[in-house]
Structure 1
Amino acid sequence: MGGAVRILRLDLTAKDLRAAAGREKDGSAARRMLALAMVLDGMDRKSAAESCGMDRQTLRDWVHRYNAEGLDGLHDLKTPGPTPKLTAEQQAELAKLVEAGPDPARHGVVRWRRVDLRDELQRRFGVALHERSVGKVLAKLGYRRLSVRPRHPQADEEAQEAFKKNFAATVAAQLPDRAKDKPIEIWFQDEARIGQQGTLTRVWAKRGTRPRAPRDQRYEWAYIFGAVCPQRRATAALVLPAADTDAMSMHLAEIGRRVAPGAHAALVIDGAGYHVAARLSVPSNITLVRLPPYAPELNPVENVWEYLRGNKLAITVFESYDDIVDKSCAAWRFFADDPERVASITSRTWATVIP
């Protein structure tokens, strides 16, 4: 055992060390600070060490660290851990590989599995990893397994980005003269078919089991025509037996009644045939703004349908058409009666109200 080592640092007194120990979240470091404070108060090294749960030699080692580094030296050093098998450059290439997705003709799969990426890493870099290790690397890079959103093969992403970027100007250009000096509300509209041949959803179940749920196999349905104004947290909806021009005209009339008095609504809709029919009846306080083709992801009402199917309308057996109507109305009220939920699901930063 080596001889005693003096505490050479005198920038902190015993009182200062005790105060630092009281603020310290690391219990081991706090005990070392208290042991040094006892030594500075004149206690012998052996007693100071034992009172703080260490032997005299260990205290001597911590004195060395304290002399060299101050309070920071009283913390345990973090071990660097094993060297990653994939270099930073290889991890970056893995990220690009995940973003690009597999080539079905070349890789034989339509989505990456960990085992596929394991084999590709072995082929590209000669690095052998277990598929669980591949999963850990992906998690470190910020990747998770997520449900994909559908995208129409003819969707034009540049047109969609241009629509968002120029949204305010697009709306302003389409407003009639009678709306120029009025407050402008941005509304979104869409419709969804609800009924038998319903949908399933995710549920909590034990790992390895296949939970079962009822699914109707009959063919009655109705349509929810829904519209939202995210800024006002306002909604307008009808449940109708068909989706056609007459039904759309009825919904437009309902939306017109929900627009604030003295305001004008810019109603964002898709290009469905009955949305653009010549005989469509559009109220005077509404201007229709059409989305780019094949761009449902720009319409937040699509997210409302997803929310309602996942929380109110999935795993449901409808006994009759009237039952479909009743449950569809109840589901919409469940959504519309919570203004914060309306704003949370449907607000879009690019859809700004025109001054």
Structure 2
Amino acid sequence: MGSAVGLRGDYDGMALRRLARASKSANQARRLLALAEIYDGASRTAAARIGGVGLQIVRDWVERFNDRGPDGLLDGKAPGRTSLLNDAQRQALAAIVESGPIPAIHGVVRWRLIDLVQWLHDEFAVSLDETTVGRELKKLGYVKLTARPRHHAQNEHALEAFKKGFAAELAKVRAGLPKRTRIEIWFQDEARIGQKNKITRRWALRGTRPSAPHDQRTKSAYIFGAICPEHGKAAGLVLPFCNTETMSLHLAEISQAVAPRAHAVVLMDQAGWHTTDKLEVPANITIIPLPAKCPELNPVENIWQFMRDNWLSNRVFTSHDNIIDHCCEAWNKLVDQPWHIMTIGRRKWANGL
């Protein structure tokens, strides 16, 4: 071993002991106390005894302390194995995940880890296992999620144009109302609830497949639901059919939920019973139709998913009356929890106006 390395001169034994008492790291405190002994004139052997290490380790502590001060005595994270992918390859991996596979070329309709392993080998001659590729994807911010359904004929330009033009549509409605009339923005939709019910995901042990009751009978009812996310309000009816008559009943129910001296703008899809001239629209309601094939614009779709996932799925309904009872119970639960209506239903393009 070479000659002893001297300690830097801007500290002393008392200062290092104060730092050791304040340190939240036991290992750093032990090293600080060992070096404090050296400052006070003790031998390196005595310092090694206090630190419970050999002389070479004490020399390493001295060099780290001289270089970076007390922070140099903190435990560092091991660098680990060098990644086999460089930044350009990671960007390419992210791009191929975003674009998705081409079935005619890649032979699959969704990427699996084994497919990406093969793609990396074909593109860059890099051999990785599935675990490593999964780790790289997580570092890039990717997780496996259930895809949101999108209508195959959806016009994305119409969807974005509706969002941008909604303020102008709202201004047209406001122009035809008395001054100082407050506008409430509502969303409306219907959901069919029947004996052929949904089965949701559930917690289970890895490697097992949990079961849930599933009926094949066909009795059903419809929940007509409308929400006002800004105020956490909802208006609903459980009815046997979707037609002009039942839709008129629901509009009357919404009309009663609108605040006095306020006017409701109700956004809904373009189902036939929503757009017919025979529909009875109350005086305090104006209907604005959503673009065709764009259910993403209607947050009531998310309300249906919430209700199914928490209250309506994984059940066997014994009769039509039993379906109605459960639908009414679920809707009333929603009404009693306005914070869910507000958090699920708010949309910046609509409620930010």
TM-score range, shorter chain: over 0.9
Residue type of the partner of 1:37? A
Say if 2:336 is the partner of 1:332. no
- 2:316 is matched with 317
Say if 2:222 is the partner of 1:228. no
Cα deviation digits, residues 262-297 of structure 1 (max 9, x gap): 111111111111010111111111111111111101
Say if 2:129 is the partner of 1:130. yes
For the structure 1 residues 270 and 64, does the alpha-carbon distance in structure 2 shift closer, same or farther, using more than 3 Å as the test? same
5+ residue gaps, structure 2, are none
SS in 2 for 1:166: helix
Q: CA-atom RMSD, angstroms?
A: 1.8
TM superposition shift of 1:204 = 1.4
Q: Does the CA contact (< 8 Å) of 2:235 and 2:257 recur in 1? A: yes
Question: Which segment is superposed worse, 57-66 or 106-115?
Answer: 57-66
Question: Which segment is superposed worse, 90-99 or 170-179?
Answer: 170-179
Say if 2:259 is the partner of 1:245. no
1:195-214 equivalences under 5 Å are 195-214=194-213
Residue type of the partner of 1:5? V
SS in 1 for 2:350: coil
TM superposition shift of 1:353 = 5.8
TM-score (normalised: structure 1): 0.94
Partners of 1:284 and 1:13 in 2: CA distance: 84
Q: How many residues align?
A: 353
Percent identical: 51
1:255-266 equivalences under 5 Å are 255-266=254-265
For the structure 1 residues 71 and 166, does the alpha-carbon distance in structure 2 shift closer, same or farther, using more than 3 Å as the test? farther
Q: Does the CA contact (< 8 Å) of 1:2 and 1:57 recur in 2? A: no
Q: Does the CA contact (< 8 Å) of 1:35 and 1:49 recur in 2? A: yes
Residue type of the partner of 2:127? A
Q: Does the CA contact (< 8 Å) of 2:33 and 2:50 recur in 1? A: no
TM superposition shift of 1:6 = 2.5
TM superposition shift of 1:172 = 1.6
Cα deviation digits, residues 164-186 of structure 1 (max 9, x gap): 23322222223462255311111
TM superposition shift of 1:232 = 0.6
Q: Does the CA contact (< 8 Å) of 1:152 and 1:294 recur in 2? A: yes
Partners of 1:292 and 1:25 in 2: CA distance: 59
For the structure 1 residues 173 and 18, does the alpha-carbon distance in structure 2 shift closer, same or farther, using more than 3 Å as the test? farther
Cα deviation digits, residues 62-102 of structure 1 (max 9, x gap): 11221222223223444432222222111111111011111
Question: Which segment is superposed worse, 177-186 or 212-221?
Answer: 177-186
TM superposition shift of 1:131 = 2.0
Residue type of the partner of 2:4? A
SS in 1 for 2:331: helix
For the structure 1 residues 240 and 58, does the alpha-carbon distance in structure 2 shift closer, same or farther, using more than 3 Å as the test? same
Residue type of the partner of 1:62? W
For the structure 1 residues 312 and 2, does the alpha-carbon distance in structure 2 shift closer, same or farther, using more than 3 Å as the test? same
Partners of 2:348 and 2:141 in 1: CA distance: 25
Question: Which segment is superposed worse, 173-182 or 157-166?
Answer: 173-182
Question: Which segment is superposed worse, 174-183 or 327-336?
Answer: 174-183
5+ residue gaps, structure 1, are none
Say if 2:4 is the partner of 1:4. yes
For the structure 1 residues 105 and 179, does the alpha-carbon distance in structure 2 shift closer, same or farther, using more than 3 Å as the test? farther
- 1:189 is matched with 188
Residue type of the partner of 2:303? V
Q: Does the CA contact (< 8 Å) of 1:102 and 1:112 recur in 2? A: yes
- 1:269 is matched with 268
SS in 1 for 2:226: strand
- 1:32 is matched with 31
Partners of 2:35 and 2:113 in 1: CA distance: 52
1:66-77 equivalences under 5 Å are 66-77=65-76
1:106-117 equivalences under 5 Å are 106-117=105-116
TM superposition shift of 1:213 = 1.0
TM superposition shift of 1:146 = 0.5
Partners of 2:4 and 2:122 in 1: CA distance: 59
Q: Does the CA contact (< 8 Å) of 1:171 and 1:289 recur in 2? A: no
For the structure 1 residues 180 and 288, does the alpha-carbon distance in structure 2 shift closer, same or farther, using more than 3 Å as the test? farther
For the structure 1 residues 332 and 16, does the alpha-carbon distance in structure 2 shift closer, same or farther, using more than 3 Å as the test? farther
TM superposition shift of 1:304 = 0.7
- 1:166 is matched with 165
Q: Does the CA contact (< 8 Å) of 1:179 and 1:264 recur in 2? A: no
Residue type of the partner of 2:54? D
For the structure 1 residues 181 and 22, does the alpha-carbon distance in structure 2 shift closer, same or farther, using more than 3 Å as the test? same
Stretches (4+) displaced over 6 A? none
Cα deviation digits, residues 145-193 of structure 1 (max 9, x gap): 1000100011111221222233222222234622553111111111100
TM-score (normalised: structure 2): 0.94
Question: Which segment is superposed worse, 171-180 or 210-219?
Answer: 171-180
- 1:65 is matched with 64
Partners of 1:236 and 1:20 in 2: CA distance: 64
Q: Does the CA contact (< 8 Å) of 1:186 and 1:353 recur in 2? A: no
For the structure 1 residues 264 and 63, does the alpha-carbon distance in structure 2 shift closer, same or farther, using more than 3 Å as the test? same
- 2:296 is matched with 297
Question: Which segment is superposed worse, 290-299 or 40-49?
Answer: 40-49
Question: Which segment is superposed worse, 266-275 or 52-61?
Answer: 52-61
TM superposition shift of 1:34 = 2.2
